[in-house]
């Protein structure tokens, strides 16, 4: 339960600097997706910020950590602490850096068992005490009687802890735990207390991105009465000679793999405030970030700034919709604006995939790239709404390629480092989509060179055989069907940029490669399949088989056989024409499928028949009816998906939000159109779910979507008109949006067949 609206309004009224005027940030509910498979976090951050300051309810070992990919699960009853870095909606994870826990009274150095209250420093809490808002989080730690409040800036996290009267106040800093934890993950860490009371340090982990170093700097608004620095690692025969002093309380610095710091403040007359900056480069840079971005002590002012940052970011779209739908819409837009994240210090330095330090010149460096997911809708949404940021995103991708030991663009990167997770070279369509839609401000020649380098790097995902055979052979490389299909689409997107730049030779070469999807098509079965090196399809064939070791990546033949976004007419022809294509689509949605079939493939969730909305390969499928002359069926399926896959509840996302992709799908679909083929300028039209939405475009123009009558009795589109003129086909061009005007949907009770 959240505080009632009157309580919340009263609380806001008492905060200096916070206005009560209506704001889009007030429509955000960060709880959505924190339960079940959504894997979002409820804590404080700002748009695309480096800091994600959020509670962690568990950091279990990696074998059991899938549910806690964001560190928090709504069903948990204890909080372990508050850490400063989190992914939003990822399926795999890491981070959870710089965990702190305020403690009143006795200090325990281990987190303890959540099933045994008092066994460690973690505390019980109740959801009734939580407040989750854009840029702010608060909770009462019941075991200590401490009111904890969090807010954030771009590089600094701000804490305010109100301790019970008469109790000694402590802050515990634990550099041991991580999200997706396991023995030996922390390779080394350092902790130091300077003469002015600044606490700083770094730790290096062997996690998803091996050898990642994350540094921090921390200050308090009140003097430290005493502090103790511990190295809790046991079983090590030789740790080197001790430093000066014989007791942990004597140490000004500590090095090791299991460091814990406890800072004592005595009995406080006012709340303890803490500010923490992070850096992917060095502790000195973290201190400099704190100096640059963390001036003063005014928690309420920082909270107001975070709220204002979200109001400004979300104001790119004004929506008229009922309360619950508004909440879902703006929360989706909020989630779509969390990643990629700033990964550059105030002095312009950032860490590259070569682990070296680089200097940004004239742009801000962003990382956290779940490219297999976000190229589909999240990045196209940013191209539409924030082309200024898209410029920096593209420059960041190209800069990462220039620093790559392999000379290719990122695949799945964070804090500048590569993880090699998922398939395809989907930085290519991100760049092409931006360029084709008019985003400039980056060196297009360098970008194109980077795209070609990624598309021709033979060791990656058996591109060598793909370039030779026209497909990825399953006897050489797992998931060959998916890789063939995704490479072919990426090739096509590269061709579109080359064409737009006048590089006809390059465009022709990659247009030819884009046709490689045909090598995966099996006319006999009507499915996309993997071939062996000798050209034969792999046998035996089970179209329902999914997961590693099969022909497909996180999917099966029912889901991947529709993945030819660059040539839907060609796919329709191969399938036997419009009628057969529509019938096969219906079979996907109408099939009776036991979800237990995918119990060993965690990411395949949100089933409607074989359609799996909880995973990205399905995201464009409902829109394919448009291409086969049955747009009313797209409209039917979209309502089916929106009604069953999204809700304004903690379990309101049926699959990983995947750094905003699930949420961006919602935003586009609610508006009534979707980018089936990023790197083209065409959107497929669905049906709107909001009565009116106005996009405030970067060029100063406005584009409005309206629908009437929009109610359950009128679920179908009768006519779509642009500036009063009916559209002949269910498609819209990017340039038509940028020109401004109104897209109006006349809704009706029956399909317009």
Orientation of helix 444-455 relative to helix 387-403, angle to 10°: 50
- SS3 of the chain: helix, strand, coil, percent, to 5: 30, 25, 45
pLDDT of residue 64: 77
Inter-residue contact 674 to 687 (CB < 8 Å) = no
Q: Which residue has the tokens 């902790």?
A: 191
273: β partners: 160
Query: CA angle at residue 421 from 416 to 424, to 5 degrees?
Result: 100
Rounded CA separation 550/545 (Å):
7
The DSSP code sequence of 670-699 is HHTEE-SSBTBSEEEE---SSSEEEEE-TT
pLDDT of residue 250: 66
**Successive 10-residue mean pLDDT values, the chain, 753 residues:** 35 38 85 96 98 93 85 97 98 96 97 95 98 98 98 98 97 96 95 97 96 98 96 85 72 92 98 98 98 97 98 97 96 98 98 98 98 98 98 98 98 98 98 98 98 98 98 98 98 98 98 98 98 98 94 97 98 98 98 92 94 97 98 98 97 96 98 98 98 98 98 98 98 98 98 93
pLDDT of residue 197: 96
Rounded CA separation 709/547 (Å):
44
Say whether the peptide bond before residue 340 is cis (omega within 30 degrees of 0).
yes
Rounded CA separation 43/71 (Å):
10
**Beta pairing, strands 702-708 & 692-696:** antiparallel
Length of the chain: 753
pLDDT of residue 614: 95
- Three-state SS at 180: coil
Could you tell me where the beta strands, DSSP code E, fall in 3-124?
54-56, 78-79, 81-83, 99-104, 123-124
Phi and psi angles of residue 577, each rounded to the nearest 5 degrees, phi first: 105, 175
Inter-residue contact 16 to 301 (CB < 8 Å) = yes
List the structure tokens of 187.
Answer: 């390779």
Predicted model pTM: 0.96
Inter-residue contact 338 to 659 (CB < 8 Å) = yes
Rounded CA separation 645/38 (Å):
11
Which alpha helices (DSSP H) does 294-426 contain, by range? 299-314, 323-336, 371-374, 378-385, 387-403
Q: Which residues contact 292 (CB under 8 A, 6 or more apart)?
A: 155, 346
């Amino acid at each position: 339960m959240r505080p009632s609206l009157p309580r919340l309004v009263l609380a806001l009224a008492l905060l200096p600097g916070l206005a009560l005027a209506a704001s889009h940030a007030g429509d955000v509910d960060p709880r959505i997706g924190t339960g079940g498979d959504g894997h979002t976090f409820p804590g404080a951050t700002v748009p695309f910020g480096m800091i994600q300051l959020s509670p962690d309810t568990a950091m279990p070992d990696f074998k059991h950590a899938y549910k806690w990919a964001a560190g928090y699960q709504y069903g948990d009853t204890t909080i372990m602490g508050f850490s400063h870095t989190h992914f939003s909606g990822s399926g795999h994870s890491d981070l959870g850096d710089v965990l702190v826990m305020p403690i009143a009274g006795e200090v325990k150095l281990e987190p303890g068992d959540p099933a045994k209250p008092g066994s460690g420093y973690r505390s019980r809490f109740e959801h009734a005490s939580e407040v989750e808002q854009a840029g702010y989080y608060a909770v009462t730690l019941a075991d200590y009687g401490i009111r904890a409040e969090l807010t954030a800036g771009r590089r600094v996290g701000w804490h305010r802890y109100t301790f019970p009267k008469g109790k000694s106040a402590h802050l515990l800093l634990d550099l041991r735990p991580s999200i997706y934890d396991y023995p030996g993950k922390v390779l080394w860490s350092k902790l130091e207390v300077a003469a002015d009371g600044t606490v700083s340090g770094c730790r290096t982990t062997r996690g998803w991105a091996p050898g990642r170093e994350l540094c921090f700097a921390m200050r308090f608004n009140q003097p430290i009465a005493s502090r103790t620095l511990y190295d809790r690692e046991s079983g090590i025969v030789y740790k080197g000679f001790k430093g000066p002093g014989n007791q942990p309380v004597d140490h000004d610095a500590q090095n090791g793999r299991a460091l814990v710091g406890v800072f004592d403040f005595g009995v406080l007359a006012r709340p303890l405030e803490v500010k923490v900056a992070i850096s992917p480069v060095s502790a000195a840079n973290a201190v400099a970030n704190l100096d640059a971005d963390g001036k003063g002590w005014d928690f309420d002012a920082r909270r107001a700034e975070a709220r204002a940052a979200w109001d400004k970011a979300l104001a790119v779209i004004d929506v008229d919709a009922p309360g619950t739908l508004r909440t879902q819409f703006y929360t989706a837009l909020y989630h779509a604006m969390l990643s990629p994240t700033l990964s550059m210090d105030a002095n312009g330095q950032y860490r590259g995939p070569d682990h070296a330090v680089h200097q940004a010149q004239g742009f801000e460096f962003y990382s956290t790239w779940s490219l297999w997911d976000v190229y589909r809708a999240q990045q196209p949404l940013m191209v539409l709404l924030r082309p200024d940021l898209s410029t920096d995103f593209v420059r960041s991708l190209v800069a990462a390629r220039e620093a790559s030991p392999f000379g290719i663009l990122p695949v799945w990167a964070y804090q500048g480092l590569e993880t090699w997770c998922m398939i395809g070279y989907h930085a290519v369509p991100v760049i092409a989509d931006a360029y084709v839609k008019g985003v400039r401000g980056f060196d297009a020649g360098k970008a194109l060179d980077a795209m070609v380098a990624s598309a021709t790097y033979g060791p990656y995902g058996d591109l060598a055989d793909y370039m030779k055979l026209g497909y990825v052979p399953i006897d050489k490389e797992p998931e060959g069907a998916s890789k063939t299909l995704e490479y072919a689409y990426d090739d096509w997107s590269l061709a579109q940029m080359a064409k737009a730049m006048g590089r006809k030779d390059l465009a022709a070469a990659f247009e030819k490669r884009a046709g490689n999807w045909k090598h995966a098509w099996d006319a006999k079965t009507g499915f996309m399949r993997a071939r062996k090196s000798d050209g034969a399809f792999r046998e035996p064939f089970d179209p329902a088989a999914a997961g590693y070791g099969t022909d497909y990546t996180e999917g099966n033949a029912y889901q991947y056989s529709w993945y030819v976004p660059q040539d839907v007419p060609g796919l329709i022809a191969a399938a036997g024409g419009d009628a057969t294509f529509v019938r096969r689509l219906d079979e996907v949605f109408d099939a009776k499928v036991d979800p237990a079939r995918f119990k060993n493939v965690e990411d395949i969730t949100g089933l409607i028949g074989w359609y799996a909305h909880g995973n990205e390969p399905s995201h464009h499928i409902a829109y394919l009816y448009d291409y086969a002359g049955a747009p009313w069926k797209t409209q039917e399926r979209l309502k089916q998906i929106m009604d069953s896959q999204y809700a304004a509840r903690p379990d309101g996302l049926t699959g990983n939000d995947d750094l905003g992709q699930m949420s961006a799908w919602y935003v586009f679909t609610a508006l009534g159109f979707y980018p089936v083929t990023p790197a083209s300028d065409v959107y497929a039209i669905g049906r709107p779910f909001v009565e009116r939405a106005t996009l405030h475009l970067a060029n100063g123009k406005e584009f409005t979507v309206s629908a009437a009558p929009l109610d359950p009795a009128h679920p179908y589109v009768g006519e779509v008109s642009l500036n009063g003129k009916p559209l002949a086909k269910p498609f819209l061009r990017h340039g038509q949006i940028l020109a401004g005007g109104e897209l109006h949907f006349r809704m009706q009770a029956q399909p317009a067949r």
